Amino acid sequence: MGFKIKTFIGTSENAVRIQVWTALIAILLTKYLKFLSKAQWHFSTLVTFLKWNLFVYRDLRQWLDQPFTKPPEPESFQPEFAF
């Protein structure tokens, strides 16, 4: 699998190495999630859906297997003051 690196944030040798290693680790973790999933994900689709659901509070393993189910409603906790 070939990856084209378009831009780097830092240009020093150390900064480039850190960015390459970070990208490789992110790819490895995403491929592991694809392996764990029972749904048949394409890599690019999984990455897109992960970006969309990054800040949604859901069980990741459950979401990987059933991505199109509605997330559970959060419990609304409203503290009350006793006056």
Residue 8 covered by a domain: no
Counted domains in the chain: 1
pLDDT of residue 28: 93
List the domain range (segments joined by +) for residue 27. 13-65
Q: Is the pLDDT of residue 50 over 70?
A: yes
Residue 4 covered by a domain: no
Using alpha carbons, list the distances in angstroms from residue 19 to 9, 26, 28, 33, 41.
8, 11, 14, 21, 26
Residue 53 covered by a domain: yes
d(CA 23, CA 29): 10
Mean pLDDT taken over the chain: 82
Confidence of residue 3 (pLDDT cuts 50, 70, 90): low
CB atoms within 10 A of CB 33: 17
Residue 78 covered by a domain: no
Write b or e for each residue in 18-30: b if 16 or more Cβ atoms lie within 10 A of its Cβ, otherwise e: eeeeeeeeeeeee
Tens of pLDDT, residue by residue over 61-74, are: 888 888 887 777 77
Tens of pLDDT, residue by residue over 18-43, are: 988 988 998 899 899 889 888 888 88
d(CA 33, CA 52): 16
Residue 42 covered by a domain: yes
